[in-house]
Amino acid sequence: MHDFIIPERGRAAPYGVYNIADNAGWVSVGIDKDTASFAVNSIRRWWQTMGRARYPHATKLLITADCGGSNGARVRLWKRELQNLANELGIAVTVCHPPPGTSKWNKIEHRLFSFITQNWHGKPLAATKPSSN
């Protein structure tokens, strides 16, 4: 589990996208519950920020997602949100769920989340209001 507790704000939950071809990643951190909507919105933000520029002629998107929590194979909201994303982007979206117990080989776990944990030392960054200078 990579969630971090912020007593006065709730639980910070990171959701990441790791592009194996580029050895590059994207992490969204939310203070809401880890929901399928949050997960798909993280993918959407990755696509808008990094994916579209890197793959301008893409006609399909392959996602590998562990089978736990918000992006489980049986989570109806996950499927519905992914379909909405596919419709919005105009590309086919395919999801592969590796077998249970294989997340230890998931590249994002080691390449991104471990560094988030080291950096935060259990104290996540908190969004602050911009100054009105």
Note the pLDDT tens digit of each residue in 60-71. Answer: 999 988 777 788
* Residue 87: Cβ-neighbour burial (10 angstroms; 0-12, 13-18, 19+): exposed
Indicate the class that CATH gives domain 4-120: alpha beta
Helix (H) or strand (E) holding 93: strand 92-96
pTM of the model: 0.73
Q: Is 3:29 a contact under the CB 8 Å cutoff?
A: no
Q: Where are the domains of the chain?
A: 4-120
- 10 Å Cβ neighbour count for 32? 11
Q: What is the pLDDT of residue 133?
A: 44
Q: What angle do CA 97, 30, 86 make, to 5 degrees?
A: 45
Over pLDDT 90: what percentage of the chain?
A: 32
**What is the average per-residue pLDDT within 116-131?**
52
**What is the average per-residue pLDDT within 105-121?**
58
pLDDT band at 100, cuts 50/70/90?
Answer: confident
Please state, in angstroms and rounded to a whole number, the distance separating the CA atoms of residues 56 and 79: 24
Q: What is the pLDDT of residue 40?
A: 92
Residue 106 tokens read as 């998931």
**pLDDT tens, position by position, 75-91:** 899 999 999 999 999 99
Task: Indicate whether 115 pLDDT > 70.
Answer: no
